[in-house]
Amino acid sequence: MNSLWGELRPLLGYIAAFSFFINLLFLVPAFFTLQVFDRVISSNSMETLMVLLAGTGVALLILTLLDYVRTRLQNVVGILVDERLSPPVVNAIVERAARAPGSTRTEGIRDVTSLRSVFAANGVIAVFDAPWVVVYVGVIWLFHPALGVGAAFSALLMLALAWLNDRTSRRSFEILQSEGRRASQYVESSLRNAEVLQALGMTQRLLVRWRALQDRVAAMQTHASRSTVAFTAATKAVRQTIQILMLALGAYLVLTQQASAGVMIATSILLGRAVQPVEQLVASWRTLIEARAAYRRLVELSKDFRGNEPRVVIPRPEGRLVVESISYRAPGMDTLVLTSVAFSIAAGEALAIVGPSAAGKSTLARLLTGVWTPTAGRVRLDGADVAYWPREQLGPYIGYVPQDVELFDGTVADNIARLDKVDSEAVVAAAIRANAHDMILTLPQGYDTPVGEHGSRLSPGQRQRVALARALYGDPQLVVLDEPNSNLDGAGEIALAQAMSALHDAGVTSVVVTHRPSLIAHVDKILVLAAGRVQQFGPAAEVMKEMQRQSQVILGRKAA
């Protein structure tokens, strides 16, 4: 964020400079009016009028050009904000969502949009124009002190209205934004379970809950809008009243021969210009408040921004995996999901992680890939901590199939290629390694078949096999598979077992979370987890023998 402000500061300086000259030129119409009434009419000089008219025309032309350039600069600043913030914001959102899937939020993207749009709003221009209120009041004071006092009082009154608007609306708008996001997220998250809603007849109950949230938002919006509309209307009314009173005061001074008619009209023009920025601030207050709240959230999110400093490129790993007494506590939870888990496997070895449900197997799989960071301990790949290894470097060397497979909207080839430019040879090679090539060819358009949103056009088993091909794309050196056969049929099980065997023969380190013995036959070691702790770890044959012995003991106890 500091580097962004470093880039924006010169542009904002230019906008401030243009605002200076624009506001300076806004004095021209007032002085033109003053000269016409006090000099041209009294002297009946057509030549003076033409000179004044020509000079004013040139000034207004320059004013138009400067205003155009300033508006263009506003757009440039908005585009720069979007270009600089969008990539790190998306990266930070993805990282947060990966660490805590249940708390996936996209406010950061909307916040960037809010911050970009505010630079194109009149409110920002009003901020730059506001200091000129003092200048305009000072010029009016030079015309006559009484008019200056009235102008100063008018400006203070308008500023007081703006301040009062802020005090009364700030909290309500922040709450309104929060509740609005909550209502939208409730519907979005609920639609992910659309099949359950439809099958169990829960749609109407969902609608009732959503309507309750919407009604609450609507009530708050009505209250906030009522306050904003009231202040906007009051500001306009006060401005009109001020102009009328100031015009009446000027007329009084003219009648008492304390000022000229030109001074009266020029004062009215300058006063209108003086209170205009304040009125724009009041009208744009909600946009400015939203932008301020968005900026604060982005500052908080920026703590997750990755630095742009260059990092040493680490060579391709061999696959040595060492887990150094890791523990993990989920965000917002008091109990540990994993406790002091430690083991190591050599490059090219295959490990099976088994255990009962809720033992922490999927959590361990995420920690091994570096998607999650351990609360304590380290996961090292060839000695390097996977949690701090740059993802752009580590990603190509990692293959990962999560327990809940989701594909990205695009073709089968797009998904296998990890959303990169499709290299047909590499895509087909990955599918062949995953033994999914023949299955993909049976799809309506083969590798060019659109998978739909979240892969909805494919069956769960097909999605799982495409995900395995994606995991094997680019010849990774560490492959982590979390229940990769949960949706596979018999043919899919055989294809997966053959793929794991081929990985072992190729010297690829592999870790598989499974309950089925068909995959255990292809591993070198077995890790048994229970309640987040390692119960057994060692060569597959020894662990299997011990597990069988324990099963016989338990059966014997039950029989007795």
Task: Compute the distance between CA of residue 140 and CA of residue 451 in angstroms, rounded to an integer.
Answer: 70
Alpha-carbon distance of 286 to 185, in angstroms, equals 22
Is residue 392 included in any domain, yes or no? yes
Higher pLDDT, residue 39 or 205: 39
pLDDT over 60 (residue 103): no
Same domain, 390 and 530: yes
- When the pLDDT of each residue in the chain is averaged and rounded to a whole number, the result is 81
Same domain, 7 and 90: yes
More confident residue, 178 or 272: 272
Same domain flag for 156 and 96: no
- Whether residue 27 is predicted with pLDDT greater than 60 in this model: the reply is yes
Residue 300 lies in a domain: no
Q: Is residue 304 assigned to a domain? A: no
Pick the last residue of a domain from 87, 121, 155. 121
| Domain stop point among 69, 91, 121 | 121
pTM over 0.75: no
Both 167 and 80 in one domain: the answer is no
- Of 429, 402, 401, 405, give the one whose Cα is nearest residue 417: 429
Q: 257 and 330, same structural domain?
A: no
| pLDDT (average), residues 316-342 | 87
Is residue 332 included in any domain, yes or no?
yes
Looking at the structure, tell me whether residues 101 and 138 fall in a common domain.
no
Question: Does a structural domain hold residue 424?
Answer: yes
- At 416-475, the pLDDT tens digits run 998 888 889 999 999 998 888 989 999 989 999 988 877 778 888 888 889 999 999 988
Q: Are residues 109 and 136 in the same domain?
A: no
**How far apart (Å, rounded) are the C-alpha atoms in residues 347 and 322?**
10
Does one domain contain both 117 and 141? no
Domain CATH number, residue 189: 1.20.1560.10
* 28 found inside a domain: yes
Last residue within a domain, chosen from 283, 309, 342: 283
Are 157 and 97 members of one domain? Answer: no
Position 104 scores a pLDDT of 47
AA identity, residue 86: S
Count how many domains the chain has: 3
Q: What is the pLDDT of residue 177?
A: 65
511 — phi, psi (to 5°)?
A: -130, 125
Number of H helices, E strands in the chain: 21, 10
Cα(409)–Cα(403) distance, rounded to whole angstroms? 19
Residue 100 has which token pair?
């805590």
Residue numbers of the domain that contains 532: 321-559
Domain annotation covers residue 309: no
Which of the pair, 550 or 394, is modelled with greater confidence?
394
Mean pLDDT of 192-206: 66
Say whether both 334 and 228 belong to one domain: no
Q: What confidence category does residue 62 fall into, taking pLDDT thresholds of 50, 70 and 90?
A: very high
CATH of the domain at 543: 3.40.50.300
Domain match, 399 and 521 both: yes
Asked if 193 and 232 sit in the same domain, the reply is yes
pLDDT beyond 90 at 65: yes
Rounded distance between C-alpha atoms, residue 348 and residue 340, angstroms: 24
Q: Is residue 294 part of a domain?
A: no
Q: What's the pLDDT at 191?
A: 62
